[in-house]
Amino acid sequence: MRNPVPDYLTEVVDACASSRGGAPASYIPELAKVDPEQFGVAMATVDGAVYAVGDADTEFTMQSISKAFVYGLAVRERGIAGVDEVIDVEPSGDPFDELSLEEGSGRPSNPMINAGAITAHSLIGGGEISPSDRVERIIELLSDLAGRQLSVDERVWHSEMEASDRNLAIAHMLRSHGIISDPAEEIISAYARQCSVLVTARDLALMAATLANAGVQPVTGQRIFSGGEVRRLLSVMLTCGMYDSAGDWVSAVGIPAKSGVGGGIIGALPGQVGLATFSPRLDTHGNSVRGIETFERLSSDMGLHLMEVAPPAREVLHSTHAIGAGEDAVRVYELSGTIGFSGAERILQRLTDEPPSERIIAVDLTGVHTIRSVARRMLLEAIRRLRQDGHTVYLVDEAGVLPDRDPGDGEMLLPLPPDL
């Protein structure tokens, strides 16, 4: 069979290609020289499947997309509280190159605008590291995320340095507030190298898929961020990743995202996919026009909006039936899917509303994919109470989806004996 996914992506690219609004970034002269017709889309699943169409293998500079990952690295190195001391997480509602500092403290509003991103860059490697080692560390991170060695576009970097007055002003202000201590020229030069790292839409899709996959690169299997670090990173991307159009973006697309003036946009949908688009024409916010259109289509066609709640809870209690008769009758509860709070609550409600008349109960987890921590505690508590009511409870869980099986009443939870 020919996989329909690339055909679908090609259809989306064809449909959005007719849009020619916006213009490539011109404040960095080198960026204005790109072919504005370039257009690529890539998608990577959390299982590591990659679909890439159009100019998805053309390199361009990451620009502000790097901010998301460098913030993640700062959180990994310093912890959330350590980073919060110098960078807030409030959407600024301002353009990316506004100063947007908190009154009094001088903390940048968030890590996605330049002020916050320059601060996040300054945190990498602690106080001792040289600017070039810091950049190396960042390139190493970005390369791990892409699953291949990345490098800096020297021409774009030079060009960016020639147009760096605004970023220099931001760095001077940050220094005056004691938010950063590096000399302004030094940090802006290093930050511009971070922005000038070359990637393709395919690379970006894998980087985004690493976030969708709770921090594990889906092809190489390398753990790059912890689940908690990813949660923080995606939260900030959702609220601040598209600058002063963040509200529009969340309403229309509903996927944590980050754009860059090189023409790239990434989006990461937890547990599902990483998406990336590349098209250099930008709107007035600095976001790719075709990129936004593509994301709007993908989100609506594929039902990717975060607020479009999936209904797994209904499926959790797959079926229940009795085997045998009399004293030896067993009531079997077959559970399935991913069990979180609402799924576990459904099971508890069923056990409360329709208490089993059989003395022996088997909880069959064969069809269960994941049990979240809260659901595990709820199920074990249910088992403890069923035992208190005089039931014997067995567990069918050959795959071991239920860890720490101690219901807390001093008795082990046993697998179903073969003769039952």
The residue ranges that bind ligand GLN (CB under 6 A) are: 63-64, 96-97, 114, 160, 167, 195, 260-261, 286
Q: Is 42 helix (H, G, I), strand (E, B) or coil?
A: strand
102: three-class secondary structure by DSSP? coil
Q: Cα dihedral sign for 19, 196, 260, 209?
A: positive
In the complex with ligand GLN, the residue whose CB is nearer, 260 or 407, is 260
Q: What is the closest distance, in whole angstroms, from the C-beta atom of residue 261 to ligand GLN in the complex?
A: 4
CA–CA gap between residue 285 and residue 95 (Å, rounded): 7
Strands 392-396 and 360-371: parallel
Tell me the C-alpha distance between 299 and 269, whole Å: 10
**Nearest to ligand GLN of 256, 286 (CB atom):** 286
Q: Nearest approach, Cβ of 150 to ligand GLN (angstroms)?
A: 16
Question: Distance between CA atoms of 74 and 123, rounded to whole angstroms?
Answer: 6
Min dist CB 264 to ligand GLN, Å, is: 9
Residue nearest ligand GLN, Cβ-based: 64
Nearer to ligand GLN, 114 or 200 (CB): 114
CA distance 205 to 276: 5
Question: In angstroms, what is the minimal distance from the CB of 144 to ligand GLN?
Answer: 21
CB of 197 to ligand GLN, least distance (A): 11
The alpha-carbon radius of gyration of the chain (Å, integer) is 25
Distance CA 137, CA 131 (A): 10
Q: Which is nearer to ligand GLN, 17 or 163 (CB)?
A: 163
From the number of C-beta atoms within 10 Å of its C-beta (0-12, 13-18, 19+), residue 397 rates as: buried
**Residue 113 Cβ, how far from ligand GLN at the closest point, in Å?**
9
Closer CB to ligand GLN, residue 54 or residue 260? 260
Q: In the bound complex, what is the minimum distance in angstroms from residue 291's beta carbon to ligand GLN?
A: 12
Q: Which is nearer to ligand GLN, 167 or 272 (CB)?
A: 167
Neighbours of 67 (CB within 10 A): 30
Query: Would you call 113 exposed, middle or buried from its count of C-beta atoms within 10 A (0-12, 13-18, 19+)?
Result: buried
Q: Please answer whether residues 56 and 201 qualify as being in contact, where contact means their C-beta atoms are separated by less than 8 angstroms.
A: yes
111: tokens are 């890590």
Q: Are 196 and 138 in contact (CB under 8 A)?
A: no
**167 or 338: CB nearest ligand GLN:** 167
Nearest CB to ligand GLN, comparing residues 165 and 354: 165
CB of 227 to ligand GLN, least distance (A): 27
Least distance from C-beta 64 to ligand GLN, angstroms? Answer: 3
Structure tokens at 122: 């300054």
3-state helix, strand, coil in the chain (%, to 5): 45, 20, 40
Q: Which phi-psi region, left, alpha or beta, contains residue 185 (left: φ > 0; alpha: ψ -120 to 50)? A: alpha
Q: Using the minimum distance from each CB to ligand GLN, give the nearer residue, 39 or 96.
A: 96
- CA-CA distance, 143 to 165, in Å (whole number)? 29
- The sign one gets for the Cα dihedral 387, 389, 390, 391 is negative
CB of 27 to ligand GLN, least distance (A): 7
Residues in a beta bridge with 336: 367
Name the residue nearer to ligand GLN (CB basis): 268 or 402. Answer: 268
**Nearer CB in complex with ligand GLN: 160/203:** 160
- Give the position of tokens 């208190």: 388
Among residues 49, 76, 55, the alpha carbon closest in space to that of 264 is found at 55
